[in-house]
Chain A
Amino acid sequence: MFRSLIVTLLAATTSLVSAMAQTPGNIVTGKVTDENGEPLAGVNVVLRGTLTGDATNLDGNFTVKLGQRASAVLDFSYIGFASESRTVTSGTKNLLVVMKEDASLNEAVVQGYGRVQKKENLVGSVYQVNSKDLENKPLTRVENLLEGMVPGLIIQPNNDSPTSVRTRYQVRIRGDASLSASNEPLWLVDGVPIYTGDGTNMVAGMQYTVPPLSMINPLDIESITVLKDASAVSIYGADGSNGVILITTKSGKFGDSPTSVTANLRYGVTHIDRSTMIRLMNAEEYMAYAKEAWVNGGNDPVLFPYQDNEHNSYSTTDTDWTDEYFRLGQTMNANVSLRSSSKVSSSYFSAGYYSENSTVDGNDQQRFSARINNSYKIGSRLTFRPQISASYNINKIFSPSRDYYENLPIFSPYDPDGYTLRLYNKVVSGKDASGNLTWLNRKFFGNSISERELDDNTQKSFLTDGNFLLTGVIIDALKATVQFGMSYTHNYETLYDSMYTLGGMDGTEPRGSSVRCSSHTLNWNNVDRLNYDRTFGKHHVSGLLGIELKSAAYRTLYGSGSGFMSDKEQEVSFSETDSRNAQSSRSQTRQLSYMGQAAYTYDGRYTLQTNFRRQGASSFGKYAKWENYFSVGGSWNISKEAFWKVGWLDNMKLKFSYGTSGNSRVDSALMKGLGTFSYGDSFSYNGSIGGVVAMPANPGLSWEKTYMSNIGLDFRLLGRFDFGIEAYYNYTKDLLSKIYTSSMIGDNRIYANIGEMSNKGLEFTFTSTNIDHEHFRWMTDFNISHNINRVEKLADGNPISYSTSIVAEGHDVNTWYLVKWAGVDPSTGAPMWYDIDGNLTYTYSAADRRMEKSATPKAYGGMLNSFQFGPFSVSLQLNYSIGGYALCYLASTSETDGYSVIDQNESVNQKDHWRKPGDVSSNPRISTVSSASTRSSTRYLYDKTNVQLKNLTLSYELPQRLVKKIAMKSCRASVIVDNLYLWTPDQDPDRNTYKQYMNGFPVERTFTFSLDMNF
């Protein structure tokens, strides 16, 4: 029915166009050919500004009537070819137009397992970002490159607290698909799955996580392809339901081209965008506030702890602690790559060095990387491709945690001598019998500057990837490939608490304490496959048959000790014997899969594609070790139909897909379905180790399965505006969810495949060449995505509630579960909430929690505008997110209504608090005793809407005559600004809003000068 509707619509449109073409007037005729002079049939020729036009016949000829015009512009468009335009005058005859193939449509899209497809033949939802789009992005880590560029993909910090400067990011493709398993996509580099941490990207065995994706040099990347729908991911089977991200590295091509050398040099300066920094009270404001809270708390004002003494001059100290913790950062990059090729070999070599000194003092990253991607032809039928890369990473870590905003402005980082880092503050502790003040030296734990200066927290990581492909041509269209890939990471972490910091002391006794952690991960896979690809006349057939063996394993080792002779020796072997402690762990999972794909295209118009994968995984028990996944997809290139005569709307394609994918990243012991025993010290008896039932046998658990449907429409308007619309509906069944069971089974909570969840959404992309003039070009890329997540079914329909969030049927999986804040009672300054029935209450009760807004944004995306005038080019990347709410960590920890004021500074928002009856204020009466007002409520919920000017690049291509003089082929100089500006609708120059509370640390803005040279 849908199809007939389209046909009717098209028929109506075409007849309209032909009706208009009947208008009499001057005639222009001509012929369109391709670059080889072959006539092109079916090219749309449109008279600009009208809907009038013609399509070329089999000989490539066309006739257009100009009507009353003396001259006009004709636009020529044809699928697979770059659009052309010509200015014609009335009476022009035999105009010859040569059309060139359009690179953007013939762009090869990587799909994994040796399959590369032309963009125009895609049936699924696959989005590829190429090196050109990535070249001016920050080089810190790979996942951030994709921010705002890929529809349907969200990248955000794992949490908004300042616990780690190396924030783990979560990447979500089309929403969350699981409750118990990981929601992170699968990452592959040249077909080899890489270790990106556990289900929440935490690196096993390390005390601090350095994101593994920061160890890859982004300049080695040729393209990043994001696979989203069933036709693209079902071939990845049980690793596909969260989407798949394929990184393809640069390599050479066979052919006789001279050796070329590319070099990139960058230097950048990074500073904190002060407008995004939490605003805190200064010393004077703090003192007034603290004294008020102290007295309101029923304390004797005479005993206020912060009174001047010989050790602390509180009244004259005003420290801006953010100055102590943040600095001017810098980034440096030097990268050289070399390509050479002959008819029988090609090589790509690159070496890079990247260093970054973060604005958070004490955090440095260094990356040394090298890569060799070579290809060799052996005889006429064999090709061998070794790809080897290595990267050595040194990360120095220091997390100021909350200290940068919590330390009191009346404390100085140094002792009165001005240089010794302060360990104590002298405070009033009470009164003695005769009424004299008594004093106490209180440990100054917040002064972590001493930890930054004296402690050690370093991670050295070595990542090496090796990938070897041997391809043999059996018959022309049939190739056999054996691939063996491995990715090995070794991390070594050294942590030392100096004996001169509070952390390294036992009481007042200097001890020193040391931790050494080591982990290595080894992922390998072996793919043996047959690829078939052949065109017979109008028929194009391709196929794939393969088998894949895959293993992922890690081992960790931990040793600690304390009690050292001096800080000079920090190795555990030199600590006191009794203090030493060691631990180790290991994990391994394996998979074995068989896969197949068949695709058929008729006349470039109809494509049908099916995928199949049968997968076994060690994570799953004998009851469900094997699972099958499939997908079917198709596309219809409507604009290639003979009846298609719509001049202004060309290249229209409709595509659909449906299929399944799964999630293998679950607790493997759980999925075995067998009962398990745990053994260890905690079950020992009489000094001997013991074991008890850990989990009852729970046979019949099966894999979570996501049923994915996708439809999409791609079209091009007037030869220059490309639109892509996709709608999807992903339904995950058999979600693992814990349910209660009888205590007689062994545990009264067991897993069951009970849950169901759906994600549906729309993605829209728009690419246009707004102005395409010889000297000036302006292009826009825009995307917007919208996803609705819904928990469809839970065990017995019972919601699962956590302290501040809830998973409930019919709601988004990231729904807040909070007591509703009702503000401050103007008569008493008491905090108020709404109870479960909506009545005002003065008592906080967790029983009054209600389902509140969700954390999921309503829409998000990005826009890239690029301009080119002569040798100059400018590009501006803008990212935005609309809707969704955050329970801001910084807000809840810095607005304590005086409760914690003796120990920490507060947000400037707190200045607006209740003082006397009748005051209408946003914060209640402050006091050092009550804390109910600060318990989790909607008070700390903020709208996440924001717009970011993410990247601005200005480039200048040096003139050829100049470049040649210095023996270069080309040279480009650029200035890059990252994180230029952040806008939130609630921003306010005097208060802290979402703009300041967004993340644990303020935004880093970087100015980089970059030089790209080709020799």
Chain B
Amino acid sequence: MVAAASLSMALSCSSFLDVDQSGKSDTDTYFADLTGLRTARNGLYRTVYDVYDDYLFKYAETAGDNLQMVTAGTGTDFYYQYNFLSTPSLESTAVGFYWKRAFQIIINANNILHYADGLRETYPSAEDEVDRCEAEAYFMRALGHFALVRTYAQPYSYTPDASHIGVPVVTKILSTKDRVGRSTVAEVYSQMIKDVEAAKAYFSDDKVSDPYYVSGAACDGLLAELYLYMGDYAKAEAYSALAMGVGLTPRDSYQAMFTLEHPGSEAILRLTGKSMNVNGSLYMFYDYTSPKYRPSSEFYAMFDDSDVRKNLLRGPDGRLACMKYYDLIHSSQKDRFYDITILRGSGMYLDHAEACCAQGKLAEAAADLRAVRARAYGADPSAPGLVVYYGKDDLMSQIKTERRKELCFEGTRFYDLARWGDDVVRPSDTNSSVKELTYPDYRFALPIPQTEIDVNEAMVQNDNY
């Protein structure tokens, strides 16, 4: 009888062999309910935070012209990028990891997009929530591609129609046998625009409701940036104008945007490091007590003493240090955190200024510049001497400098230089082996990691690597 019972149990319940393991779940099961979707959404935001924190923010500065390395040595973070010595085989440095991690943004976003339809069907009452997650996943997928195309390909303007080689466009969950090659830069941008527009369709307005999550304004802001990179100034002007609705954080709470727990009124999209229980890697990178890199003294000298932004370039010990990622409120390691700024009002003002200037709308451009400077210097925006320019080129050059000063250490500098086709000119006392990198140069793009070349027959290496 026992035999019969167990036999029938074995035969009838094929589920006897279905066992759950803790801490891990197969993807189908994971996305079978809304909890899975919600945690996947958190995981996606976290992945973006980590990629920006570990790679994007560091690469955009170490390859740029604002920093000085403290202890020279191959063991120091981003040594190879600071000295433009990247090779395909540097798998365990930024070359390999940035590539791998940025794809994880795309892969996690694609998983959410893949399961969204099914969840909408199963939970009709949660349609709005699913739609929202879907919109965010589109947005993040664009950010993932944006990180990759700016890092592993030459800028959009490298060829007149951006037909040069870009990065792979991945819009679905790949199987282990799939191999994707590189699309052209134009194709990558067109996919990113499509993704951000898909995200924007969800949001009913162009406002920010919570700066720690994607919003209508964030879509506008990212579109403005994308069009600026593409040199489509009319569209860049239009979208940045929409995102500028947030205005600028007042001067007296400017520093608090970085060092105190205060996102600032101009925040469009920030990623919070709160409750992570770990110090992010930018903290270690710039920690004023033992930084890996410090702002160069020549860069520091560019700031006027009245410039509120200058206060973020010195540590409490009086030495040069980037203080944008140093929490001054919380002393315990567990509570200490900082935010990663992806889009903020000042950036939009400068995007708008640049777009207008490029189109010859100099007065509009100057007005944006004036607003940014007035806040920085604590000056009256209408003061006549605040913005003085001699023609379009001069104004453009001032806008570029202002952008460098405003958004320093926020993950834009090297990408901006490449976008403008400007040379990287290091401070005269630089300890990098490369004093100057003249555009164009193959080193404006990192090499594709060697394993990717080895295992992916569709993959092509960048020239000269």
Spell out A's residues near B (CB within 8 Å): 470, 480, 482, 484, 526, 528, 547, 549, 585-592, 616-618, 625, 668-669, 672, 674-681, 683-694, 696-699, 739-746, 748, 750
The reply on B204 being an interface residue by CB < 8 A is no
CA distance A694 to B111 in the complex (A): 12
- Measured in the bound complex, the distance between the Cα atoms of B9 and A398 in whole Å is 47
- With A685-B46, A691-B40: A678-B16 Cβ-Cβ less than 8 Å: no
Q: A684-B46, A689-B39 are in contact. List 14 more A-B contacts (CB 8 A).
A: A526-B6, A585-B22, A587-B21, A588-B20, A672-B26, A675-B26, A676-B26, A677-B111, A678-B24, A683-B46, A685-B49, A690-B45, A696-B176, A742-B452
Chain A residues with Cβ below 8 Å from B107 are 693, 696, 744-746
**B17 with A617: CB separation less than 8 A:** yes
Which residues of chain A have C-beta atoms less than 8 A from B180's C-beta? 742, 744
**Does B100 contact A743, Cβ atoms closer than 8 Å?**
yes
A630 to B425, CA, bound (A): 72
Q: Are A547 and B45 in contact (CB under 8 A)?
A: no
Check B17–A590 contact: CB distance below 8 A: yes
Binds A, one of B82-90, B122-130, B272-280, B410-418: B272-280
B3 at the interface (CB under 8 A from A): yes
| B contact residues around A698 at 8 Å (CB) | 176
Is the CB–CB distance between A547 and B7 below 8 Å? Answer: yes
The contact of B42 among A547, A625, A685, A739, by CB within 8 Å, is A685
Is the CB of B451 closer than 8 A to any CB of chain A? yes
B108 at the interface (CB under 8 A from A): yes
Q: Could you say which residues of chain B place their CB within 8 Å of the CB of A750?
A: 176
Whether the Cβ atoms of A549 and B28 lie closer than 8 Å is no
Chain A residues, CB < 8 A from B6: 482, 526, 528, 547, 549
The secondary structure that dominates the A interface is: strand
Docked CA distance A677–B23 (Å): 9
A684–B276 CA distance with the chains assembled, in angstroms: 7
B166 near A: Cβ within 8 Å?
A: no
Contact B274 A687 (CB under 8 A): yes
Q: Please give, as numbers and ranges, the residues of chain B lying within 8 Å of A741 by CB-CB distance.
A: 176, 455
> At the interface, yes or no: B429 with Cβ under 8 Å from chain A?
no
Closest to B17 in A: A618
Given A686-B274, A688-B42, A690-B43; A528-B3 close (CB under 8 Å): yes
Which residues of B have CB within 8 Å of A668? 19, 21
Contact in complex: B454, A690 (CB < 8 Å)? no
Contact mask for chain B residues 147-176; partner A; CB cutoff 8 A; 1 contact, 0 none: 000000000000000000000101001111
Q: Identify which of A616, A669, A688 contacts B21 (C-beta below 8 A).
A: A669
3 A-B pairs with least C-beta separation = A690-B42, A690-B43, A674-B26
Q: Is B397 an interface residue (CB 8 A)?
A: no
Greatest chain B CB density within 10 A among A684, A696, A743 is at: A743
- What residues of A have a CB within 8 angstroms of the CB of B28 in the complex? 674
Is the Cβ of B22 less than 8 Å from the Cβ of A589?
Answer: no
Cross-chain contact B45 with A685 (CB below 8 angstroms): yes
How far is it, in angstroms, between the C-alpha of A590 and the C-alpha of B13 when the chains are bound? 13
Residue numbers in A under 8 Å from B100 (CB-CB): 743, 748
Distance in Å from the Cβ of B318 to the closest Cβ of chain A?
28
Chain A residue numbers with a CB within 8 Å of B341 are: none
> Are B23 and A680 in contact, with the CB atoms below 8 A?
yes
A592 and B17 form a contact (CB under 8 A): yes
Contacts of B275 in A (CB 8 A): 684, 686-687
Minimum distance in angstroms from A553 CB to a CB of chain B: 9
Contact with A along B439-465 (1 / 0, CB 8 A): 000000000010110111001000000
- A147 CB to nearest B CB, Å: 36
Is there an interface contact between A679 and B451, defined as CB atoms closer than 8 Å?
Answer: no
Cα A690 to Cα B44 in complex, Å, equals 8
Q: Once the chains are docked, how many angstroms separate the CA of A680 from the CA of B277?
A: 12
Question: Smallest CB-CB separation from A481: which chain B residue?
Answer: B3
Across the two chains, which residue of chain B brings its CB closest to A679?
B39
- Whether a CB of chain A sits under 8 angstroms from the CB of B103 is yes
Map CB proximity to A onto B175-192 as digits: 1 under 8 Å, 0 otherwise: 110111000000000000
Bound-complex Cα distance A669 to B26 (A)? 8
B179 touches A625 (CB 8 A): no
In the bound complex, do residue B19 and residue A590 qualify as a contact, i.e. CB atoms below 8 Å apart? yes
A sample of 30 cross-chain residue pairs with beta-carbon separation below 8 angstroms, ordered by A number, consists of A526-B2, A528-B3, A528-B7, A549-B10, A549-B16, A587-B22, A589-B19, A590-B16, A590-B19, A592-B17, A616-B17, A668-B21, A669-B26, A675-B173, A676-B24, A677-B25, A677-B36, A681-B277, A685-B46, A685-B49, A686-B45, A691-B42, A693-B27, A694-B24, A697-B27, A699-B176, A739-B455, A742-B174, A742-B456, A744-B106
Give the residues in chain B near A480, CB-CB below 8 Å: 3
Known contacts A689-B42, A690-B46, A692-B46; A470 and B17 CB within 8 A of each other: no
* Binary contact readout B24-38 vs A (1 if CB under 8 angstroms, 0 otherwise): 111110100000101
A480, A592, A699: which has the most chain B beta carbons within 10 Å? A592
Contact A692 B25 (CB under 8 A): no
Given contacts A589-B19, A677-B27, A744-B103, contact A482 B3 (CB under 8 A): yes
Which residues of chain A have C-beta atoms less than 8 A from B168's C-beta?
744
Bound Cα distance from A691 to B40, whole angstroms? 5
The reply to whether B43 and A685 contact each other, CB–CB distance below 8 Å, is: yes
Contact A693 B26 (CB under 8 A): no
- Contact between A692 and B43, CB atoms less than 8 A apart: yes
**B108 close to A744 (CB less than 8 A):** no
Shortest B108–chain A CB gap in Å is 6
Does B104 make an interface contact (CB < 8 A)?
yes
Is the beta-carbon distance between B104 and A746 smaller than 8 angstroms? yes
From B2, B9, B43, B108, A484 is in contact (CB under 8 Å) with: B2
Do B179 and A742 touch across chains, with their CB atoms under 8 A apart? yes
Q: Contacts of A672 on B, CB cut-off 8 Å?
A: 26
Q: Say whether A748 contacts B170, CB under 8 Å.
A: no
CB distance from A615 to the nearest CB of B (A): 10
Alpha-carbon distance between A470 and B4 when the two chains are bound, in angstroms = 13
Say how far B31's CB is from chain A's closest CB, in angstroms: 8
Q: Which residue of B lies closest to A675 (CB)?
A: B27
Cα–Cα distance between A587 and B21 once the two chains are bound (Å) = 6
Is B203 part of the binding interface, using a Cβ–Cβ cutoff of 8 Å? no
B420 at interface (Cβ–Cβ under 8 A)?
no
CB-CB < 8 A to A683: which residues of B? Answer: 39, 42-43, 46-47
Q: Contacting B175 at CB < 8 Å: which of A526, A686, A694, A697? A: A697
Could you tell me the distance in whole angstroms from the C-beta of B124 to the nearest C-beta in chain A? 24
* CB-defined contacts of A744 to chain B, threshold 8 Å: 103, 106-107, 168, 170, 174, 178, 180, 456
A735-B5 Cα distance, complex, nearest whole Å: 37
CB of B394, distance to nearest CB on chain A (Å):
44
Which residue from chain A places its CB closest to the CB of B39 in the assembled complex? A691
Closest Cβ neighbor of B272 among chain A residues: A686
Using known A-B contacts A589-B19, A592-B10, A691-B42, determine if residue A677 contacts B30 with beta carbons closer than 8 Å.
Answer: yes
Chain A residues near B47 (CB, 8 Å)?
683, 692
B46 x A618 contact (CB < 8 A): no
Task: Report the minimal beta-carbon distance from B340 to chain A, rounded to whole angstroms.
Answer: 11
- Please give me the residue from chain A that is nearest to B170 by CB atom: A744
Min distance, Cβ A704 to any Cβ of chain B, angstroms = 18
B19 touches A693 (CB 8 A): no
**Contact of A693 with B452 at beta-carbon distance under 8 Å, contacts A585-B23, A685-B46 already known:** no
Cβ–Cβ contact B18 & A618, under 8 A: yes
Task: Kindly state the separation between the CA atoms of A876 and B111 in the bound complex, as whole angstroms.
Answer: 66
Does B99 make an interface contact (CB < 8 A)? yes
Residues of the A chain whose Cβ atoms lie less than 8 Å from the Cβ of B104 = 692-693, 746
Instruction: Judge whether B212 is part of the interface by a CB distance below 8 angstroms.
Output: yes
* Contact among A585, A674, A691, A743 for B43, CB-based, below 8 A: A691
Contact indicator A745/B178 (Cβ below 8 Å): yes
Contact, CB under 8 Å: A743 / B103: yes
| B176 and A745 contact, CB distance less than 8 A | yes
- Which of chain B's residues have a CB closer than 8 A to the CB of A484? 2
> Which residues of chain A are near B178, meaning CB under 8 Å?
742, 744-745
Question: Interface centre among B9, B17, B173, by most A CB within 10 Å?
Answer: B17
List residues of chain A with CB within 8 A of the CB of B23.
585, 678-680
Closest-by-CB residue of B relative to A591 is B17
Shortest CB-to-CB span from A216 to chain B, Å, is 27
Interface residues of B in 92-141 (CB under 8 A from A): 99-100, 103-104, 106-108, 111
